[in-house]
Every structure is written in C-alpha cells, then in structure tokens.
C-alpha cells in the first residue's frame, strides 16, 4: 500500500534529482463557514488560494476549499519535517493531498489540538503524545463515559462473557456489548428447532450486571451461522419455499420473544449484498424466497416486537463506499425504506481488512445513509496492524487512522453506536480466520494482549472527546 509518507518521499527524491520546481495541491474538504490558515513556520514556500497571488500565510474560507502551494525542495523538506502547519477548526475537516508526481492520497484530519495541527508531519506523534493528549481532553474519563456524554454507545463484541477481557476491561471502558456468535441462528440451534440458549442467556445476565446495552447479532444471515441441517431440511420438504418461510418466522418469533426488552437492537439481516457488488448474495434465503427475504424478515420481526430497533447490517470494504458495493447497498436500503420496510437503522460493520478508510469518503457515505432517515451503528470495527506494516511505527499509524475514524463518527449525528469486533487484541477473530490467521497477531483493536490501552485507544478517545 502506498502511504502519504511514501508519496512525499518519492516527490522529494524526484525534486532533488532534477532540482526542478514542483507543485503540490492540498485540497481541504472543510465544513461550511470554517476559516483555515496555512502557515509556513520555517522554510521557503509560496502559498496561493486557487490561482491567487503568492503569500506566506493563507487564510481560506470554506468556499476557497483548494489551497495550492508551490516551491522547490526546501519547502517540501519543510513540509516533511512538519515545519508547515495549518491552523483552524481542524477537527471539522479532512485533507486530501495531491502532488504532480503522484496520485491522490488522504492524510485525514491532523491529529492534534482542535485549534492547531500539523499537516502530515514526517513523524507520527509519539505514543506518549497520544496518551497525554487523550487524558487531557477526556479529563481522565474512560471511553464509555466520554462516549455517553456525547450520546454515543461504544461497545465490544466478545465470544463469551467469561473471557478475561469481559471481566474488568469491558465494564470499565464500554457501555455496550455484543456477542460474536452466541445469538446467531446456528449457535442458538445447531440443528433446526433444537435450541440451547445458555450462552446467549449468559450475555443477557452479563449485560444487566454491568449496565451494558446489548446488541443482537444476527437473526438471518445467508452466508454463515445457520443450523447445520437447514439446507437439508428445506430440500427434503415437499414445499421448500413455504417450509423456509415458516422456519424463518418461527426462529424470529422464538428469539425476539425470549429476549424482548433485553436486547436493544437486532441485526435482522446480516450482509445481504454479494461480495464485489454483484447485487444480492445468493444463499438459501434468496434462492427460495427471492430478494424479498430481507423485507420479509423485517416484517416478521416488527410483527413480533414493535419496540426493539431493527437493523440492516452490511460490510462495506474501506474505500468502496462510493464504489459499486457501497452504491448497491445504499440503493438497496433506499428502496426498502422507500417501500416502508420497517428498518430503523443501518449497521456498517467497519472491518478494515485491506485498506484504511478515507475519512472524507466514509463521512460522505455515512451522511448519505443518514439522509435515508435512519440511525447508523458501526457494528464490527477493527483495523489490522498489517495495513501499517510499511510505517516506521505501525501502532502509531494505526492510532492516527483510528483518530480519523473517531472524528468522522462523532461528526455525523445519525451515528449513535460504535462497536469493536473484540475488546482486546487477544480476542480477535482475525487470528483464527484464513487468510488473516497467517498474519497473526493482527492486533486490530484498542487494547493489547495484556488488556492495556494502545495508542489507538488514546487516539480514538481523543477523537471522541474533541470533535465538536
Ligand atoms: O463452535 C465451533 C466449535 O465447536 C469448534 O470447536 C471450533 C473449531 O474451529 O469451531 C467453532 O465454531 C467457529 C465459531 O466461529 C466459534 O469460534 C466457526 O468454525 C467459525 O466459522 C466461527 O467464525 C465466526 C464467523 O463470524 C462465522 O460465523 C467468527 O468467530 C466471528 O467473529 C465472525 O463474525 C462475523 C460476523 O458475524 C459478520 N461480519 C463478519 C464477521 C467476521 O467474519
């Protein structure tokens, strides 16, 4: 993966080799009515807004969202050494950086004080810097408190309530919990109709004991998590379609009634879309009931429980939000909501497996979902450390990426919950799941294998605490 820093280094090499002038364009995507200053602290550099005159300090209104600076190697060096800085309401903006020599890469919002920040410094902030900044911004409050104060739930999905991380860590830092597998149909009933609620019930008791909001994941999932004999049962039935509809209805009825008032929100259907943007996933439900199985599942759920929040949950790979996959899911959700299907919220999973989310794209996508008139939950967040393998300080780079996510999530009013897929790096599914198991330890979460906070924790906390 090409990083911003790698591009900068390429540009600097090219500039040094030819001793030629270069032009770099910084495109600031700002909140309306913000005022931003780009300042050359040291070194030679011409700054312009659009095609305007060169000045040493640029003050830009949000309308002037494109700043251009140009110069020779010395100014690039100044930039790389962090001697140029931007002042402004930085938490409300993201930064795209474009060079004549390279493509476009996001640097995201600078990881700093709400009022003053450094644009793409050559070095990531130190781990200690993140800790100090976060403790100051949060006034020592844990993540759950900072999140609650801004009306957010922040959670962890764990395998069982008997994990070490469930003991002290989850109740201290999170105000929501989920089960990685315990509420899936195939976990509740290994064979059709043969229910064993023991682990799911343990989650209910655990959530109540620690005052945690409990999410239910998931009622219907075509790709996995079904009773082992579901397909065979359907195949053997004289009317497979009617039998599947009946089994689906009985399952939804059984589970929603059992956990009425105890589970706050259900992923009614998980991952309806095909990988790679090929319309809906083909699975036992869509094969027999057609694409309407999604709408049917929501209608069944609503008829059983009129109070619980019903969520449509999907995984959209980072940086495909405005691509085919993101587009198709948006269109699908829009269609269902337009038809009156009782969808209260959209879940965006947030597994960052192959690339780091571009904050501008992520925010724009969340806003488009918000415009559908539903709430949003980030339901399964994690970020493999391998995505930062080419950085000098992967944990620091991961922290910066989490910081940018926190800023985005905190700035979209419809986002009301963020859940991580695991509490600590000891818990992650990635270490046991091909092909990611080969890269273990994947370290994708906010707490390390000793259950201690990572730079990512402090960065995420800081982002939540400081975003206006
Ligand atoms: O329960 C059996 C156990 O009896 C057996 O000894 C063991 C041997 O491997 O396997 C156990 O089942 C595994 C189960 O996790 C519990 O550990 C399954 O093989 C394994 O496929 C299952 O993986 C889960 C996966 O969903 C499929 O259901 C992961 O833990 C879980 O993290 C993952 O979560 C999904 C979300 O539901 C949807 N979004 C993507 C996310 C990550 O893949």
Whole-model pTM: value is 0.78
Q: What is the CATH number of the domain that holds 263?
A: 3.20.20.80
Q: Are residues 313 and 176 in the same domain?
A: yes
| Residue of 430, 426, 336 lying closest to 382 (CA atoms) | 430
Quote the Cα angle for 212-301-331, to 5°. 95
Atom of ligand 1 nearest to the CA of 421: 32
d(CA 413, CA 407): 12
* pLDDT over threshold 70, residue 258: yes
Q: Are residues 178 and 113 in the same domain?
A: no
Mean pLDDT along residues 408-428: 96
447-456 pLDDT per residue, tens: 999 999 999 9
Question: Which residue, by CA, sits nearest to atom 14 of ligand 1?
Answer: 181
Q: Are residues 288 and 416 in the same domain?
A: yes
108-142 pLDDT per residue, tens: 333 222 222 223 333 467 899 899 999 999 999 99
Q: Are residues 294 and 356 in the same domain?
A: yes
Last residue of a domain, one of 123, 144, 174: 123
Q: Are residues 233 and 284 in the same domain?
A: yes
How far separated are the first and last CA of the chain, in Å rounded? 32
Domain extent, residue 56, equals 4-123
Residues 374, 343: contact at Cβ < 8 Å?
yes
Q: Are residues 113 and 154 in the same domain?
A: no
Q: Are residues 110 and 153 in the same domain?
A: no
Residue 178 CA to ligand 1 centre (angstroms)? 14
Last residue of a domain, one of 123, 155, 185: 123
Question: Which residue, by CA, sits nearest to atom 1 of ligand 1?
Answer: 187
Most informative mutation of 162, 181, 184 for ligand 1 (most atoms within 8 A of CB): 181
Residue 438 CA to ligand 1 centre (angstroms)? 17
Residue 360 CA to ligand 1 centre (angstroms)? 32
Kindly state the percentage of the chain with pLDDT values over 70.
73
Task: Write the CB contacts of 433 (distance below 8 Å, at least 6 apart in sequence).
Answer: none
Last residue of a domain, one of 57, 88, 123: 123
Provide the number of structural domains found in the chain. 2
Q: Are residues 102 and 156 in the same domain?
A: no
Q: Are residues 103 and 212 in the same domain?
A: no
By the 10 Å C-beta count (0-12 exposed, 13-18 middle, 19+ buried), 440 is classed as middle
Residue 189 CA to ligand 1 centre (angstroms)? 14
Atom of ligand 1 nearest to the CA of 217: 37
**Phi then psi dihedrals of residue 100, to 5 deg:** -60, -30
């Amino acid at each position: 993966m090409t990083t911003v820093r790698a591009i900068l280094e390429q540009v600097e090499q090219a500039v040094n080799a030819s001793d030629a002038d270069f032009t770099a364009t910084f495109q600031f995507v700002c909140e309306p009515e913000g005022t931003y200053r780009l300042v050359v602290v040291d070194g030679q550099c011409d700054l312009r807004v659009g095609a305007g005159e060169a000045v040493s300090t640029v003050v830009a209104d949000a309308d002037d969202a494109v700043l251009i600076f140009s110069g020779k190697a010395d100014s690039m060096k100044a930039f790389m050494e962090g001697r140029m800085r931007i002042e402004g309401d930085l938490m409300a903006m993201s930064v795209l950086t474009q060079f004549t020599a390279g493509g476009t890469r996001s640097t995201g919002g600078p990881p700093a004080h709400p009022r003053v920040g450094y644009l793409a410094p050559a070095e990531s902030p130190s781990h200690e810097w993140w800790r100090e900044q976060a403790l100051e911004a949060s006034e020592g409050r844990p993540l759950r408190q900072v999140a609650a104060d801004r009306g957010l739930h922040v959670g962890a999905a764990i395998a069982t309530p008997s994990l070490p991380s469930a003991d002290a860590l989850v109740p201290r830092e999170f105000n929501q919990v989920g089960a990685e597998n315990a509420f899936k149909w195939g976990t509740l009933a290994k064979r059709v109709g043969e229910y064993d609620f023991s682990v799911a019930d343990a989650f209910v008791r655990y959530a109540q004991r620690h005052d945690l909001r409990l999410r239910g994941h998931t009622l219907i999932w075509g790709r996995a998590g079904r009773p082992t004999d579901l397909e065979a049962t359907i195949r053997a039935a004289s009317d497979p379609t009617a039998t599947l509809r009946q089994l689906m209805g009985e399952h939804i009825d059984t589970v929603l009634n059992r956990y009425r008032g105890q589970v706050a929100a259900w992923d009614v259907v998980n991952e309806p879309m095909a990988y790679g943007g090929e319309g809906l996933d083909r699975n036992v439900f869509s094969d027999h009931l057609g694409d309407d199985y999604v709408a049917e599942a929501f209608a069944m759920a609503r008829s059983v429980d009129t109070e619980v929040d019903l969520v449509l949950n999907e995984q959209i790979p980072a940086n495909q939000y405005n691509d085919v996959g993101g587009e198709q899911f948006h269109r699908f959700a829009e269609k269902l909501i337009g038809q009156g299907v009782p969808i209260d919220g959209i879940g965006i999973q947030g597994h960052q497996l192959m690339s780091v989310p571009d904050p501008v794209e992520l925010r724009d996508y969340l806003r488009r979902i918000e415009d559908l008139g539903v709430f949003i939950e980030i339901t399964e967040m994690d970020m493999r450390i391998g995505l930062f393998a080419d950085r000098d300080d992967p944990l620091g780079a991961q922290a910066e990426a989490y910081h940018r996510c926190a800023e985005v999530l905190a700035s979209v009013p419809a986002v009301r919950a963020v859940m991580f897929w695991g509490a600590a790096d000891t818990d992650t599914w990635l270490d046991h799941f091909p092909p990611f198991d080969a890269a273990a330890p994947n370290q994708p979460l906010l707490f390390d294998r000793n259950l201690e906070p990572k730079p990512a924790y402090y960065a995420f906390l800081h982002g939540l605490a400081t975003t206006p």
